[in-house]
Chain A
Amino acid sequence: MPLIDVTTLQAHFEKSEGLLSRFFHKNTEVVHAVDCISFNIEKGETFGLVGESGCGKTTAGKALLRLLPRNVIKGKITFEDHDVYKFSTSELRRFRRHAQIIFQNPISSLNPRMKIGEIITEPFRIHGSTKSSREIQAEVENLLEVVSLSKSDKDKYPTELSGGQGRRVGIARALALHPKFIVCDEPTSGLDVSISAEIINLMKNLQRQLNLTYLWISHNLRIVSYVSNRIAIMYLGKIVEMGETFEVFKNPIHRYTKALFSAVHTVGGSKGPKKIILKGEVPSPINVPSGCRFRTRCWDSEPECRRKEPLLLPVGREHLVACHKAL
């Protein structure tokens, strides 16, 4: 039984208008952030969700944790076989202990008017820990140590921290309640290469020690390929390719995946394979192209691509692709 099972998840946001428009329901524009995606995450694995800005990966991550308003979500998300969106208030609170999130921006996800120590203490307070104040402080200090921060950082404010340090605080806060599952939203964005490497190592170690399951959301293909067991590529709200990381990496089939992988530069003096340069820009999620959403930039598109939307179908063991020309 997978830890998380997502079935035909859809997240459509309505662009809010003024009072009069709300009365007359005229032309409300809908942002198709996530459109009918299905996947599952096994216990203990790192599932990579890859895509560029606007593809809906962050929205999908938040949807999994029920951080989006209910009227926006359609579809089914289960955690340990329980429907997340059918939780009662108390069940939801218990769920929150098991499923956490590390936010993209390390500093803005910390209340600028709270000290680091208070920020990490908060999870304990929220869930009414029976421990004494001293015990909680000891745990907080322990968490700081686990993420390689010093005890003296407890009294600092978020604005006094560097990006890397802020990220570590976010990790410490997410770990406070001993979760089983963590959504990691761009954990290394904006960090220097060496700091990025430290954070990745830290997260991998934690995963091993604490038996965590990760949903790793990122646009950095190189890092996602390195950390994840399985990977899903998203484009404009849809999953276009999914499978075991090594398999997808070795044999990308969807044209978008090919372009993405080729755009990841090889580091080194020698020239890599010829880069695929896509034409045009990503279409707006308000007006998605008919049929296959990628067809406007695909060098291989055919009339069928405009008429019919391709389904995500298996092309090999543990490898699915949504493309009419996959086989």
Chain B
Amino acid sequence: MNAKKGFLKRFEIFSFVLSSPLRCSGVVIVVILLFIAIFAPAIAPHDPYDINPVNRLSEISFTHPFGTDNLGRDVLSRMFYGTRTALFVGMMGVSVSLLMGLILGMIAAYCGSIIDDAILLLFDTLRSFPTIILILVIISVVGPSITNIVLALAITFMSTYGRAVRARTLSVKEEDYIKAAEALGARRLRIIRSHIIKNVVGPLIIMAGMDVGYMIALEAGLSFLGLGVPPPTASWGKMLRVGFDYMLKDPLLIIWPSIALFVAVAGFSLLAEALRNFLDPSVRRSVKGSLSAIRSQESIS
């Protein structure tokens, strides 16, 4: 009986996703992007770093489906490799940011008084800088490399997660079930591990999902300004720069990375939205029946 229920639960996810074309497309896009990123070396038709000045700015052809850029490199292959950069920076950036925010936020919530105030001060200071400026400052100090970019993005964004974690931890800490665990004799670490984290992380995952798209866009922006990943690494931002410089000579060069960026950001946003809807029981149930089950449960008395 229980096995059956677990089995059906998996189908629930599928039916939920398939029920809406928007949700579906979000998942599909992200899956395709991941595939491209992972298998880029296998599926790219050419070496993206292969400079071939003879063949520069060529048109769409069979050998070069998207043409070549100003240095004769195959655009399509660079797009594929650019996916790797974008996804790495986006997903790693968010993960590291989330982790740092989680740790600092929990310390702030648990220690209170001076430590709490100090951490909040740190968060507020970080937030008072305009995002781009902060990232530029950090990169100019530590130098541009893909790891440093991830780090810079993480530091910039951690205050948002940190504050959210702190607020949520403060409220969860006072819940009855935490007191119950205390009453049972649980040590603090155990309480944090078994009870608090589970209840704090949920909404953050959604926030994080949405921020992946934002980070991808930021990375592209940095690369566009020439402050992103160093050459020869492929990046959509750098392709945008090239496309921008050669806009009059070959307008298509700017279009391909733009589309890629758009698709990636949209895809991740849709996925995050779908995740949020899935985890929100009132919306989820309304997909199956006509109206919210929670409301009906409240009113039957």
Let me know if A126 and B186 touch, CB within 8 A.
Answer: yes
Could you give, for residues 176-198 of chain B, a 1 whenever the CB lies within 8 Å of some chain A CB and a 0 otherwise?
11011111111100100011001
Let me know if B177 and A101 touch, CB within 8 A.
Answer: no
Let me know if A173 and B185 touch, CB within 8 A.
Answer: no
Taking the complex as formed, is B2 at the interface, i.e. its CB lies under 8 A from any CB of chain A?
A: yes
Do A122 and B185 contact each other (CB < 8 Å), given the known contacts A109-B176, A109-B180, A173-B180? no
Taking the complex as formed, is B1 at the interface, i.e. its CB lies under 8 A from any CB of chain A?
A: yes
Q: Which residues of A contact B194 (CB under 8 A)?
A: 111, 114, 122
Q: Which residues of A contact B181 (CB under 8 A)?
A: 111, 122, 126
Taking the complex as formed, is A324 at the interface, i.e. its CB lies under 8 A from any CB of chain B?
A: no
Let me know if A96 and B179 touch, CB within 8 A.
Answer: no
Taking the complex as formed, is A201 at the interface, i.e. its CB lies under 8 A from any CB of chain B?
A: no
**Residues of B in contact with A (beta carbons under 8 Å apart):** 1-2, 113, 117, 175-177, 179-187, 190, 194-195, 198-199
Q: Could you tell me the distance in whole angstroms from the C-beta of A133 to the nearest C-beta in chain B?
A: 17
Let me know if A103 and B176 touch, CB within 8 A.
Answer: yes
Do A96 and B183 contact each other (CB < 8 Å), given the known contacts A108-B175, A108-B177? yes
Q: Which A70-119 residues have a C-beta within 8 angstroms of B? A: 92-93, 96-97, 100-101, 103-105, 108-114
Q: Could you tell me the distance in whole angstroms from the C-beta of B187 to the nearest C-beta in chain A?
A: 8
Let me know if B183 and A93 touch, CB within 8 A.
Answer: no
Let me know if B184 and A113 touch, CB within 8 A.
Answer: no
Let me know if B2 and A155 touch, CB within 8 A.
Answer: yes
Let me know if B183 and A152 touch, CB within 8 A.
Answer: no
Tally of contact residues, A, Cβ under 8 A:
30
Let me know if B179 and A111 touch, CB within 8 A.
Answer: no
Q: Which residues of A contact B179 (CB under 8 A)?
A: 62, 67, 103, 109
Taking the complex as formed, is A327 at the interface, i.e. its CB lies under 8 A from any CB of chain B?
A: no
Let me know if A127 and B2 touch, CB within 8 A.
Answer: no
Do A101 and B183 contact each other (CB < 8 Å), given the known contacts A109-B177, A111-B198, A113-B199? yes
Instruction: From A65, A112, A122, give the contact of B199 (CB < 8 A).
Output: A112
Taking the complex as formed, is A19 at the interface, i.e. its CB lies under 8 A from any CB of chain B?
A: yes
Most A C-beta atoms less than 10 A away, residue of B179, B184, B186: B184
Instruction: From B113, B177, B184, give the contact of A126 (CB < 8 A).
Output: B184
30 contacting pairs across A/B (C-beta < 8 A): A19-B117, A62-B179, A67-B179, A67-B182, A92-B185, A93-B185, A100-B183, A101-B183, A105-B176, A108-B175, A110-B177, A110-B180, A111-B181, A111-B194, A111-B198, A112-B177, A113-B198, A113-B199, A114-B198, A122-B184, A122-B194, A123-B185, A126-B181, A126-B185, A126-B187, A126-B190, A127-B185, A170-B180, A173-B180, A173-B184
- How many Å lie between the Cα of A93 and that of B180 in the bound state? 14
Q: Could you tell me the distance in whole angstroms from the C-beta of B17 to the nearest C-beta in chain A?
A: 22
Q: Could you tell me the distance in whole angstroms from the C-beta of B294 to the nearest C-beta in chain A?
A: 10
Q: Which A109-148 residues have a C-beta within 8 angstroms of B? A: 109-114, 122-123, 126-127
Q: Could you tell me the distance in whole angstroms from the C-beta of A297 to the nearest C-beta in chain B?
A: 31
Taking the complex as formed, is A191 at the interface, i.e. its CB lies under 8 A from any CB of chain B?
A: no
Q: Could you tell me the distance in whole angstroms from the C-beta of A25 to the nearest C-beta in chain B?
A: 14
- How many Å lie between the Cα of A114 and that of B191 in the bound state? 13
Could you give, for residues 159-183 of chain A, a 1 whenever the CB lies within 8 Å of some chain B CB and a 0 otherwise?
0000000000010010001000000
Output the nearest chain B residue to A177 by Cβ-Cβ distance: B184
- How many Å lie between the Cα of A65 and that of B179 in the bound state? 11
Q: Could you tell me the distance in whole angstroms from the C-beta of A240 to the nearest C-beta in chain B?
A: 28
Output the nearest chain B residue to A123 by Cβ-Cβ distance: B184
Q: Which residues of A contact B184 (CB under 8 A)?
A: 96, 100, 122-123, 126, 173, 177
Q: Which residues of B contact A103 (CB under 8 A)?
A: 176, 179-180
Let me know if B176 and A152 touch, CB within 8 A.
Answer: no
Output the nearest chain B residue to A62 by Cβ-Cβ distance: B179
Output the nearest chain A residue to B281 by Cβ-Cβ distance: A159
